[in-house]
A and B are shown apart, each in its own frame.
Chain A
Amino acid sequence: MIETDILIIGAGPTGLFAVFEAGLLQLKCHLIDALPQAGGQCSEIYPKKPIYDIPGFPEILAGELVDNLMEQIKPFQPGFTLGERADTIEKLEDGSFVVTTGKGTKHHAPIVAIAGGLGSFEPRKPLLENLAEYEDKGVAYIIKDPEIYRDKKVIISGGGDSALDWSIFLADVASEVTLVHRRNEFRGALDSVEKVQQLKNQGKINLITPAEVVALHGDGHLTSVTIQKVGGEPGHMVLEVDNFIPLFGLSPKLGPLADWGLEIEKNAIKVDNTLDYQTNIPGVYAIGDVNTYPGKLKLILCGFHEATLMCQSAYQRIFPDKKYVMKYTTVGGVTGFDGSRKEAPKAVVKTID
């Protein structure tokens, strides 16, 4: 069981900044995120896109913002459970919570702060009739262990970075890699596109474009797929394969959070914005894009503010009898749990003769 003071669901910018504000109050945080890396949408969807409305940054790339936040919270040693989705919440008799992920990892904390954005990112599945039948029987949307593809015949579909990168990687692992895309053009890092071109020329990747997988065949396990040319070009073919990996990106879904007994409105969690962004379950807060209240704006800068007020309220809940006054970091400095200490340099008082 992972123990912490504030359990944060979602490691996007809002969740990450909450670690900093909690740290100033000497509260420890642990974050759960369904994605394998921190940063939420900023890392997953648009790391190379600029943001212009982060106060104090005339322009910053989303990926850089995440890097900066990770640097800023480092002294507070947050824990991470990445690549796992928070599935269930249980309230214990003492008022604290146990949150369990899909993989069974349990987390225990007096405070839960949901910073889940638009929800957890789930793979987008192509529209194929018997797709579900072959899930885990030859069809997978996420590559967890590349070794299972060793010496297998693999077909990948998609036209983005993940389709390109995994085709390149698996070219050395699988016995046969086929990449199918509906266009001749790929949108991915230029060097990935060039690498695929090279591997195609060497005969290590079998490239079929513009085409798509239109049917799956098998007997319990996938054995072949039908590939259809698109764009008016005639012809279809049946290709023998062991594995089909459709990589069409991820889309966020509120998912199991919707069943936590929280008040939901317009796919978001209703909170008390007059005070502390607490939900209808005392001790459970919702901050950032995942919450809603009159006048709500889904902006990173609003998430930062909400995270800050949430931490103050969480502190009061954990230590109802402690007196506390907010202290400016310029005055109080930043004392990390790792023993690090940052503070403003002392002014020099010296007489001038």
Chain B
Amino acid sequence: MSDIKIKITDRDGVTHEVDAPTDMNMNLMEVVRSYELAPEGTVGICGGMAMCASCQCYIRSDHPLPEKSDDEDAMLAEAFHVEDSSRLGCQIHMTDELNGLEVELAPES
């Protein structure tokens, strides 16, 4: 059992510091859902296949992140409110290296 701390700013601008397990094969989108930081049905619509962009978030700290897959890159190319720091939460798996990660959820679209 090991947890890391992550700061997630929700769509109303409120920042939550949450514990995320690294041993449950969880991704950032699932962490957001498990803490109900966005209404059910507005995040993780496709379930985590990088096919809907409902879990788009902006990375606000400089943690080393896994490279974007072609799927994620293509999906972000069709999403709205995209910034250079945009990633799909479902493609970011919780690992020890991400301790202290700060992210902000992109607006619903």
Please give the residue numbers on chain A whose beta carbons come within 8 Å of chain B beta carbons, in ascending order.
41, 45-46, 49, 118-119, 124, 126-127, 158-160, 181-183, 185-187, 248-249, 251-252, 254, 266-268
Contact = CB atoms under 8 A, between A and B. Distances in A.
Nearest to A253: B41
A182 B80 contact: no
Interface stretch (B2-10, B17-25, B49-57, B93-101): B49-57
Given A182-B77, A185-B74, 4 more contacts: A127-B81, A127-B109, A248-B80, A249-B52
Interface of B: 36, 39-42, 45-46, 49, 51-52, 54, 70-71, 73-75, 77-78, 80-81, 109
A71 B52 CA distance: 29
User: Chain B at the A interface: mostly helix, strand, loop or mixed?
Assistant: loop
Given A45-B51, A254-B41, A185 B77 contact: yes
A249 B76 CA distance: 12
A267 B80 contact: no
Nearest to B54: A251
User: Chain A at the B interface: mostly helix, strand, loop or mixed?
Assistant: loop
A183 B77 contact: yes
A46 B49 contact: yes
A252 B47 CA distance: 13
Nearest to A184: B77
Contacts of B40: 266-268
Contacts of A45: 46, 49, 51-52
Contact of A266 (B41, B74, B109): B41
A160 B50 CA distance: 13
A116 to B, nearest CB: 11
Contact of B39 (A46, A158, A266): A266
A160 B53 CA distance: 14
